[in-house]
Structure 1
Amino acid sequence: MQKTSLIALARHELSQAKEASSGRSAKTVFGGHEHQLRQTLIALKAGESLAEHESSGEATLQVLEGRVLLRFGDLSWNGSPGDLLIIPDGLHSLDAIEASVILLTVVKKH
Structure 2
Amino acid sequence: MQKSSLAELTVRHLEKARGSSSGRSAETVVGGHTHILRQTLVALRAGEALDEHENPGEATVHVLTGRVRLAAGDTSCEGGTGDLLTVPDARHSLTAIEDTAVLLTVAKLE
Q: Normalised by the size of structure 1, how large is the TM-score?
A: 0.98
Name structure 1 gaps, 5 residues minimum: none
Residue in 2 that maps onto 1:65: 65
Which amino acid is 1:108 matched to? K
Alignment of 1:89-100 (within 5 A): 89-100=89-100
Which amino acid is 2:78 matched to? N
Deviation per CA, 1:34-77, whole angstroms, max 9, x where unpaired? 31100000000001011100111100000000000000111111
Residue in 1 that maps onto 2:34: 34
Which amino acid is 1:53 matched to? H
Which amino acid is 1:88 matched to? P
TM-fit CA distance, 1:32:
1.3
In structure 2, distance between residues paired with 1:71 and 1:32: 24
Which amino acid is 1:74 matched to? D
Which amino acid is 1:26 matched to? A
In structure 1, distance between residues paired with 2:62 and 2:104: 7
Root-mean-square deviation (CA), in Å?
A: 0.7
The 4+ residue runs of structure 1 with deviation greater than 4 A are none
In structure 2, distance between residues paired with 1:105 and 1:11: 19
Q: Secondary structure at the match of 1:107?
A: strand
Residue in 1 that maps onto 2:24: 24
Which amino acid is 1:68 matched to? V
Q: Secondary structure at the match of 1:34?
A: coil
Which amino acid is 2:100 matched to? S
Name structure 2 gaps, 5 residues minimum: none
TM-fit CA distance, 1:33:
3.0
Of all paired residues, the percent bearing the same amino acid is 59
